[in-house]
Amino acid sequence: MAEGGPAETSGDGRGPELGETGRQDGRRRRRELFLSLPALIVTTAVVGVVSWGVTRLTDGANSLARTTGPLATVSVETNPKKVGAFEDTGIQGVLPAGAAPTTGPGTGCTGFHDWLIKNAGTDAGASRLQVTVQGNAERQVQISNVRVVVASREEPPASVGVSCPTAGQANLRFLTIDLDSPQPRATYTSEDGAPFGFTVESGEIETFLISATAQQALYHWYLELDLVSGTKRTTVRVDDGGKSFRTAPLPAAPGWAWDYKSTWTSTTSGRTVAVGEPLVPPSPGAKDAP
């Protein structure tokens, strides 16, 4: 458990905070700068493979997990293909070894993440999500800090890798989380070196695109946002509808890539498996059907 910032880790396992907020006019200048970029709609902080702006903020709005408090409403979209900034990234996950889902992820990659979770799968390599904060208070609400809280760290179970590849590449990143760190924190990077710190007026929206990576273990984790409005202060837990986010490492063995239609193909040998057949780690040299 940790947070991005300079403070020492406390006894409850939380890491240092992201830092003191800049002056209001500085924040406004940053907002104006990012709003001027083409294809961006809302000022956005991003983790992993993310951008300061989301081109389709409303895509995930209908399926978000929401937490409503006196100062702000926080929404989370966990399907990266419903977030504009992640459209050009592939999706990688793991399924229990020997899993034989009777249905496939469907056409393209849009339904891949939901299919993965439905079949007891887990994000692998990285979890990419969108967190949206909308102000509720009459006065301005300051988003002063975001913390990473690792609820548990487990040995990865036997699994097989699955992916929905992409021909594109996303290259914008500002805020990242390394879950393998002894004190994971949300690391924010800005071009002008400004510290983390944003504000929302009543009804105004601030969006954070987040990508948390894992290479060593299966992590159950969530975020905490510190909100301040006048003399009121509150901390909002950000999770997946009451459950922790889950991120596992990529398996060492070769995996299977979805062909966007009806077939799984070995990422190393070219061997194919139809939907409904067991997905076991493919042999690197085997090209014949199972």
Kindly report, residue by residue over 206-230, the tens digit of the pLDDT: 888 899 999 999 999 999 999 999 9
- Say whether pLDDT at 21 is over 90: no
The answer to whether residues 46 and 173 touch, using CB atoms and an 8 Å cutoff, is yes
pLDDT at 43: 30
Over residues 51-83, the pLDDT tens digits come to 222 223 333 334 457 777 789 999 999 999 998
pLDDT, tens only, 233-245? 999 999 999 999 9
Sequence-distant (≥ 6) Cβ neighbours of residue 29 within 8 angstroms:
none
Give the side-chain half-sphere CA count within 13 A for 231: 0
pLDDT at 27: 45
Report the C-alpha gap between 230 and 213 in whole angstroms. Answer: 35
- Confidence (pLDDT) at 248: 97
Once rounded to an integer, what is the mean pLDDT over residues 132-147?
Answer: 91
> Whose CA is closest to 211, among 66, 95, 86?
86
Res 167: pLDDT? 55
- What is this structure's pTM? 0.71
pLDDT over 90, % of the chain: 42
Residue 183 has pLDDT above 50, yes or no: yes
pLDDT band at 121 (very low <50, low <70, confident <90, very high): very high
Q: Are 236 and 72 in contact (CB under 8 A)?
A: yes
